[in-house]
Amino acid sequence: MVDALAAAERSARDGVRLERVRGAVVDLERATEGVRATLGDGSARAGEIAVLALGHPPPSHPITENLPLYRSPRYVRDPWSVDAL
């Protein structure tokens, strides 16, 4: 993904700009200029196109049944979580 964004930035034409914004989008609406995104901090961004890079949702258990293993301190459902180790 980082390479795709870097390529988009390098290939931007005159008058075209790619702006990376990190934050929680709490509202996205159509506007006369395209779209308007309101962020959780109250700020807003407008542009022709919005790309929401939501990432991956947390992983689910491999088996949907409520197994005793899932309550064990040795079982880690999300290995990328802050408290996984």
Token readout for 7 is: 């390529």
Q: What is the mean pLDDT of the chain?
A: 85
Q: What is the pTM of this model?
A: 0.53
Whose CA is closest to 17, among 55, 53, 45?
45
The tens digit of pLDDT for each residue in 22-60 reads: 888 999 999 888 999 999 999 999 988 888 777 778 788
pLDDT over threshold 80, residue 2: no
